[in-house]
Structure 1
Amino acid sequence: NRHVDFLKRDIIKAMNKAAALDELITGRTLTVTRAAR
């Protein structure tokens, strides 16, 4: 089913975006806490 394949691709894309955002946020907070010390 092509529709399901598109949905799966969208879900994977969204998960990758969320993971990248999470990394960005955690990376930034880490640098901020280091600078605060």
Structure 2
Amino acid sequence: MGNDGVRLHRIMINHRERKLVFEDQMRLRKGLVHIAADHA
């Protein structure tokens, strides 16, 4: 029972980190699009 709790906790942390990375990449991409549009 204890091991399952630890495993679930780890999965939740990994999922949250992956989501944050994904959001950062989306934000970066939007920023790059704006920069590219300004230089066009």
If the length of structure 2 is used for normalisation, what is the TM-score?
A: 0.85
Structure 2: tracts of 5 or more residues without a match: none
| Structure 1 runs (4+) greater than 4 angstroms displaced | none
Alignment size in residue pairs: 37
Identity %: 19
- CA shift for structure 1 position 11: 0.2
CA RMSD of aligned residues (A): 0.6
What runs of 5+ residues in structure 1 fail to find an aligned partner? Answer: none
Matches within 5 A, 1:6-25: 6-25=7-26
